[in-house]
Amino acid sequence: MPQRLTEELRTRIQASFDEASRDEEHFPSTIDPRIYHVKLIRGHLGDLQGKRVLDVGCGKGRFARIFQEQEPAAEIWGVDISGEMLRYVPAGIHTRAGSMTELPFPDAWFDAAYATESLEHAVEIEKAVAEICRVVKDGGRIAIIDKNAEQWGKLETPAWERWFTRKELERLLRRHCREVSSRFISYWEDVDPDGLFLAWLAVK
């Protein structure tokens, strides 16, 4: 039976990430802009000039920081459960503390949204996917990068974390989006994927 995001569990997850914010080694503020995750998201979202974009579960804003540098005319937003993580997000990026299952934004407010290794912490995955889709306009683009359930056990994980199969997330996205695809990816374009990371790309 799927886990529920009780108030107690939500508080536990928030406290865990508040504490993790002090661990720069494992939860860095920056990421190498050359990694394939960056290229894939940018390629799928397209020209962001004058667009409003949401980083769902942004942490310290490591991806948002790159997109802000690459697209200074875009309006970048980051939402995260941890207020301590958000303290590291660079100036110029709008932030809001909140849960992925109850995003604090109006319907169809964003032109695009992405979630990189954050959906795995949402607990109520179906609800979180529905929320990401809700806040994106019709015709808007969504990118999710996360870990493959078939590789479960390869890394140490907290008790609440969940990984996904290709079909599972495709099915959830198809409830709200007219185009959905997925593929295995690697951090580096010239390295063959090892099956750990998957990317799901959708158009609402």
* Tens digits of residue pLDDT in 140-172: 999 999 999 999 999 999 999 999 999 999 999
Which structural domain, as residue segments, surrounds residue 108?
7-203
How many domains are there within the chain? 1
In degrees, rounded to 5, the angle at the alpha carbon of residue 28 between the alpha carbons of residues 23 and 31 is 170
| pTM of structure | 0.97
The per-residue pLDDT for 3 is 82
The per-residue pLDDT for 95 is 98
Neighbouring C-beta atoms of residue 168, cutoff 10 Å: 16
Radius of gyration of the CA atoms of the chain, in A = 16
Assigned domain for 74 exists: yes
Give the CATH number, domain containing residue 178.
3.40.50.150
Assigned domain for 1 exists: no
Which residues of the chain have a pLDDT value below 70?
1-2
Assigned domain for 87 exists: yes
Assigned domain for 2 exists: no
Assigned domain for 26 exists: yes
The per-residue pLDDT for 1 is 56
Assigned domain for 115 exists: yes
| CA 136 centroid distance within chain | 14
Assigned domain for 36 exists: yes
- Give the closest residue to 90 by CA, choosing from 121, 51, 114, 55: 55
Assigned domain for 28 exists: yes
The per-residue pLDDT for 36 is 97
The per-residue pLDDT for 2 is 65
